[in-house]
Amino acid sequence: MRKILIATDSCSDLKKEIRERYNIEYLRMNTVKDGVETIASLDWEYYSPKDLYDTIRGGKRVTTTQVPAKEFEERFKEWLAQGYDIVYIACSSKLSGSVNTGEMAAKELLRDYPGATIRCVDSLNASGGEGQVAVRAALLRDKGLSADEIADELDRVKNNVNQFVTVHNLNALKAAGRVKASSAFFGNLLGVKPILVSDKNGDNVAIKKVKGRLNSLEEIVNLTVDGIIPEDNEFIYVAHADCEDEAQEVVKLLNEKLPGVKVELGYIGPIIGASIGADAIGIFCWGKSCERFTV
């Protein structure tokens, strides 16, 4: 059987330690500030999390790009030349066109690599949810599944990723087109913190409004406890947009309520951060089907 390479992208928000542990590569997107494109590195080589989120707090808009076609062509070709089949786990197609660009690049490159396989999987998730799908892909690879078998299994289970995110308001998400307009009114209520999930179609939707920041943090923990299937998780992933002290409190609550499940903490990366804004916190795990959130 051919070697399998698992790749995701800058939207997955997987910190270096986890990528190295599970042998996961990622394809780079870009952020754009004042007309200048910068690689959206999950390792923060080009600017710090504080630099990004203070820019956003100051009212300056940071925009983003999908994975460039050239990035797909160069990285896919490199991996194919090394004898790998590739499974690429992409950000939700409702939020990014990267999965389509990846499929077009794969179609062109495979003409020169007969017998090779590239599967591009629409994760229907972003941030730590996309990261959870990538980790599952790596575990399936380590069990000896082929690229096609891995991709087919991910398509079967990806609606069981649960995302619970709280933000101060929906202004950044609405401006970036990352949340349904019908949900945006939650962000306009004074003192109300919306709770976002990813539905079965890969849309971000606000399902609840909670009064006050502390209550919103407790609510995403409670929703996680209610939705999680503990034995399906390598770990729960908590990601934050430059509000580590509060995120640590979320980790503490999860450890108290789910003592048998490991919790990992990391940053919301540059792409998702530019869209969601500063001070967001999300919890990502495997659990009940997210079809329950879809209207």
User: Which pLDDT belongs to residue 168?
Assistant: 75
Which pTM value belongs to this model? Answer: 0.94
Domains in the chain with CATH codes: 3-158 (3.40.50.10170), 159-293 (3.30.1180.10)
Residue 149 neighbours by CB under 8 Å, 6+ apart:
140
Rounded CA separation 72/255 (Å): 39
CA distance 68 to 79: 17
- What pLDDT, on a 0 to 100 scale, did the predictor assign at position 175? 60
**Contacts within 8 Å (CB) and 24+ apart, 59-64:** 60/33, 61/175, 62/31, 62/32, 62/33, 62/274, 63/31, 63/32, 63/33, 63/176, 63/274, 64/29, 64/30, 64/31, 64/32, 64/40, 64/176, 64/270, 64/271, 64/274, 64/275
Q: What pLDDT is stored for residue 245 in this prediction?
A: 97
pLDDT at 181: 46
Amino acid identity for residue 57 in this structure: R
Query: Residue-wise pLDDT tens for the chain (295 aa)?
Result: 789 999 999 999 999 999 999 999 999 999 999 999 999 999 999 999 999 999 999 989 999 999 999 999 999 999 999 999 999 999 999 999 999 999 999 999 999 999 999 999 999 999 999 999 999 999 999 999 999 999 999 999 999 999 999 987 666 665 655 555 444 444 455 577 889 999 999 998 888 889 899 999 999 999 999 999 999 999 999 999 999 999 999 999 999 999 999 999 999 999 999 999 999 999 999 999 999 886 5
What whole-number distance in Å separates Cα of residue 217 and Cα of residue 169? 14
